[in-house]
Amino acid sequence: MYFKIVMFLSILFFLKLRKAKVVWTVHNLYPHKYRWKRLEKKVRKIIMSRCDKLIVAAYSIKASIINEFGISSDKIDVVLHGHYKGVYPTKHKDFRGEYNINPKKIIFLFVGAIKEYKGVLELLDNFVKIDNSNGHLIIAGKTYDNMEQLIEPYIGHKNITFDLRFIPDEELSDLITSSDYVVLPYKNITTSGTAILAVSLKRKIICPSSPFMKEYFDSHTAIMYDSKRTNELMNILKNCLYQHNQVIPENSYQNFLHKLSWTNIAKQIKSIYYSI
């Protein structure tokens, strides 16, 4: 590990000696898994200080970088992440039929890598506590670490379907549009491509009211909850079953697409690179 750090910093310093301009698009403050935070922080601060520009996807991320690493505000530019409308192929695969789910059921979907920080266990625990006869939960994605063992007690529940494999790009669109809500109960998150993808496909998301989520989504595109309050997620799931209103209004959807327009993003990034 130390060898890799030294090599990376040596290359960075060499580039700066050659007067190269360096731009870092920062997705996360820290890796999702790391051993020594003090070392991670020190190395990241060195890299950021040597960059000419940092690009982040939200003003909340910019504020976090300033607070955590002491980087000047002028060095950090905010460029929103673009939408995914039309990006993923649609093959009109019927996942409700594939999973043998009653077409009248309200489907909650978690899709993506199944890791501890994504809150899958909390979602499962809350779902089984409610009267879920009107609903069905799909957990789709590859498990990591010991998550397959941890979710094992829930396997076999009549209203929960597990598809524990990496979901290929060509199936994502059909899987998401086969659901009514995409649930993202993340414990720790900086950005979420899955949230953006779900809304791009006109599916309302259920997620914690984190700063990032509040910048990107509103009450028409997301149902947000305070993850620190007991039973908040459970109450949200229950309300969705009995006050079913998952449709995103067309004007809200168009506003979302305009806000995350790739044309505008390209102009912003072009301007940033020309500025250095």
pLDDT in tens, 105-117: 999 999 999 998 8
Rounded CA separation 197/172 (Å)? 9
pLDDT in tens, 199-226: 999 999 999 999 999 999 999 999 999 9
pLDDT in tens, 247-275: 899 999 999 999 999 999 999 999 999 99
Rounded CA separation 126/240 (Å)? 13
User: What would the mean pLDDT of 86-98 be, rounded to a whole number?
Assistant: 91
Q: Is the pLDDT of residue 246 over 90?
A: no
Quick one: 65 and 130 in the same domain? no
In a domain, 88, yes or no: no
pLDDT in tens, 163-188: 999 999 999 999 999 999 999 999 87
- According to DSSP, the β-strands at 76-78 and 106-111 are unpaired
Quick one: 52 and 151 in the same domain? no
Given this model, what pLDDT does residue 62 score? 95
pLDDT in tens, 51-71: 999 999 999 999 999 999 999
Quick one: 251 and 266 in the same domain? no
Segments forming the whole domain that contains residue 20: 2-82+262-275
pLDDT in tens, 229-239: 888 999 999 99
Quick one: 78 and 204 in the same domain? no
Quick one: 112 and 206 in the same domain? yes
Quick one: 116 and 62 in the same domain? no
pLDDT in tens, 5-33: 888 888 888 888 888 999 999 988 877 77
In a domain, 210, yes or no: yes
Average pLDDT, the chain: 92
**What's this model's pTM, rounded to 2 decimal places?**
0.88
Given this model, what pLDDT does residue 253 score? 96
CATH code (residue 119): 3.40.50.2000
Amino acid present at 126: N
Residue 53 structure tokens? 């520009």
Quick one: 227 and 177 in the same domain? yes
Question: Cα dist. 206→37, 232, 236 in Å?
Answer: 30, 11, 8
Quick one: 122 and 241 in the same domain? yes
Given this model, what pLDDT does residue 247 score? 87
Given this model, what pLDDT does residue 73 score? 96
Given this model, what pLDDT does residue 6 score? 84
Given this model, what pLDDT does residue 29 score? 82
Q: Is the pLDDT of residue 3 over 90?
A: no
Q: Which of 32, 83, 34 is nearest to 57 (CA)?
A: 83
Q: Which residues pair with 206 in a beta bridge?
A: 183, 223
In a domain, 89, yes or no: no
Amino acid present at 261: S
Quick one: 54 and 111 in the same domain? no
Given this model, what pLDDT does residue 167 score? 95
Quick one: 177 and 47 in the same domain? no
Quick one: 150 and 183 in the same domain? yes
